[in-house]
Amino acid sequence: MDAVALRKKYGKDIILAGNIDKRALIKGKEATRAEVMSKVPFLLEQGGYFPAVDHGVPPDVSFENYCYFINTLREVTGLERLLF
């Protein structure tokens, strides 16, 4: 599902979570950043969104890539500490 399209269609009548494609984390930093930046800033600005990876994080995501994902979320949200 496309959280950006859902937000545009339903506005704040729906609470959204996740929607970050876990496959981007497998592909590396550039793909991870592109995935986060394509959704998270808009959705956070609109409100009612909790950024996270869709489903669980698969074992083929390296620890380094997962840390990069978390740090990218920290940068975008302005939060020093995110709990997942």
Does a structural domain hold residue 70? yes
Instruction: Please indicate, yes or no, if residue 83 is contained in any of the structural domains.
Output: no
Within a domain: 26? yes
The answer to the question of residue 33 being in a domain is: yes
Q: Give residue 40's domain range.
A: 3-77
What is the reported pTM?
0.87
Angle at 47 between CA 43 and CA 53, to 5 degrees: 50
- 24-74 pLDDT, tens digit per residue, is 999 999 999 999 999 999 999 999 999 999 888 999 999 999 999 999 999
Number of domains in the chain: 1
- Give domain status of residue 84, yes or no: no
Distances (CA, A) of 60 to 28, 34, 68: 11, 19, 15
